[in-house]
Amino acid sequence: MTDISEFAAVIGVAPNRIDVEIHANEGYQALDRRLEVGSYLKIYDDEGATVIAIVQSYRIKDRTPNSADEEPDTPMFVLETQPVGRLEDGMFRRGGKQITIPPTHVEIASSELLAEVYANVDEEKRFSFGVLGQDESVRVVVDGDKFFGKHIGVVGSTGSGKSCTVARILQAGIAPTEGQTKRGILNNSHIIIFDLHGEYKAAFPAARVIGVDDLKLPYWLMNAEELEEMFIESNEENSHNQVSQFRQAVVENKQRHSESALTISYDSPVYFSLDEVYNYLANLNAEMIGKAPNEGVPKLADGTLVHKRADHYFEREHEFAPSSQAAGTKASNGPFNGEFARFLMRLDGRRTDTRLGFLLSVGVSLMTRLIFTFSFHLRRNMKTDDRDLPFLLVYEEAHNYVPRHEGAKYHSVKRAIERIAKEGRKYGISLMIVSQRPAEISETVFSQCNNFVAMRLTNPADQQYVRRLLPDDLAAITGALPSLEQREAIVIGDSISVPSLVRVDEITDTPDSHDIPFHTEWQKDWYDVAMKAALKRWQT
């Protein structure tokens, strides 16, 4: 511990600020450890009350010598510090009572004291992924249960080391215990990463990697919102008719294929044939109504009267009776005749598209919802068990899934993720929201995060947005957002004893997220790229 009380004095105390005046005399100049923005101070009084504070800023003080003996050029400055907690019986506590006025002692917090601050976590819950930025001899320890058990926000601009930080956090989180390693068994960690760019495969070589070509998501598991987002254009003039008849066709087709006696609804996870639903709607689009006496129902070209559409329309596209005003063959357009031409083109395109575009859009919604539903029923089924099966869902580039703005194409996935943000924890599901553009993410999701790992942010809108969301208003730390170095992060939340600037550990298995060295590549000999192979893969 470095006592600086000889040339430091507390000159102002407020609920969220303590001002310390420093005489930069020979004693101060001789210190082994100098003060800087972000340094930790121990401030205490003669009554035993002790406060830990962070240097937030400083200013040079104009003054005149108090006596003829005092050197007029001895510089003086005032530190503005922010209290972050207190020491009670050797244990660090957040917040707390004020010290008596004026406090008489000021020390620069030692490495040992800082280690004690971070050690205030039960041994079995300790989790660490880096060291203290101001003192790399101190490991920053967080409460693993509070960190992973409550939603996490990880933000940082391109080049800040965000992907490596996420990988380091997850690698440390799933690391087996020494006993598990000796026995050669897996631990009970379950993490699902939605990785659009395929970066994390290299960071987790033993992980199960499921690519687009491997993923089979039955469309019939989609709920009403997801189905309509996939097949219906909400801004079309007759979209309400599309919705009503599509719903009718899906429900009746599910009943057609179900052997269950239970009531089938639009949202029931029961198989239906998309081809048969297409046939049904195509027949509605061409339907003619017989107007001869005792008819008034759809009429086929062979004279068959359709009293129940579900008995005929699913099988194939029929030919209907022609429009006629003649008494014996009188027929006119059905209520939806010609209305569904564009709808059918879109539906046909979706059902024949081998790429199944919903895998990257509605597919994220579907998988998120299925995991939530599974965990809901699992939790109910395990009420008598003392074990749990928690899941962490990691959304890389999360602004692609839960954008702040509204839009039909994002509605179902936003709703699925927002539901987990609000309800998931009680069913053993937590979220890690990762993004380089936090200002573009749904505030509903971010506001549910209890822990934040904030790396360098260069965009002023992103900086302001994150500062507003962070649970601790610490300008001494959050002010560094634009100037953080690579792999430096501000960690704030209820899992950590004190908000901290952390230097994240280096890792061996890194994500495949490195930038292409343009100039270096340009200096190499001409590279005859296999254009034909690339084009063939693109086409197929």
300-315 pLDDT, tens per residue?
A: 988 899 999 999 999 9
Report how far apart, in Å, the C-alpha atoms of 89 and of each of 48, 53, 94, 97, 126 are.
10, 18, 14, 14, 21
Q: What does the pLDDT read at residue 474?
A: 64
Q: What is the pLDDT of residues 200-220, one digit of tens each?
A: 999 999 888 887 667 677 778
- CA atoms of 505 and 510, how far apart (whole Å): 12
Can you give the pTM of this predicted structure?
Answer: 0.76
Encode burial over 450-485: b for 16+ CB neighbours within 10 A, e otherwise: bbbbbbbbeeeebbebbbebbebebebbbbbbeebe
Question: Sign of the CA dihedral 44, 45, 48, 49?
Answer: negative
Which of 39, 206, 198 has the alpha carbon at shortest distance from 114? 39
SS3 annotation, 463-480:
HHHHHHHCCCCCHHHHCC
- DSSP states of 107-171 as a string? EEPPHHHHHHHHT-S-GGGEEEEEEETTEEEEEEEEEHHHHHSS-EEEE--TTSSHHHHHHHHHH
**pLDDT for 191:** 93
User: What is the domain partition of the chain in residue ranges?
Assistant: 2-109, 125-214+358-522, 219-352
- The residues, ordered by sequence, that sit 6+ positions from 97 with a Cβ below 8 Å of its Cβ are 49, 86
Alpha carbons 479 and 474: distance in angstroms, whole number: 8
Write out the two tokens for 437: 């553009």
Q: Which residue has the higher pLDDT, 505 or 349?
A: 505
Instruction: Please say if the pLDDT value at position 90 is more than 50.
Output: yes
Both tokens of 117, joined, read: 């601050």
pLDDT at residue 507 greater than cutoff 60: yes
What is residue 382's predicted lDDT score, i.e. its pLDDT?
A: 64
The CATH number for 125-214+358-522, chosen from 3.30.930.10, 2.60.40.420, 3.50.20.10, 3.40.50.300, is 3.40.50.300
Residues 437-492: pLDDT tens digits? Answer: 988 888 888 889 999 999 999 888 888 888 887 655 566 677 778 888 999 999 98
Q: Token pair of 501, please? A: 């600037």
pLDDT, position 452:
93
What is the per-residue pLDDT for 361? 45
Q: How confident is the model at residue 357 (pLDDT cuts 50, 70, 90)?
A: very low
As a whole number, mean pLDDT of residues 133-139 equals: 90
| Per-residue confidence band for 504, with pLDDT thresholds at 50, 70 and 90 | very high
pLDDT value, residue 384:
56
* Alpha-carbon distance values, 68 to 9, 61, 71 (Å): 22, 19, 8
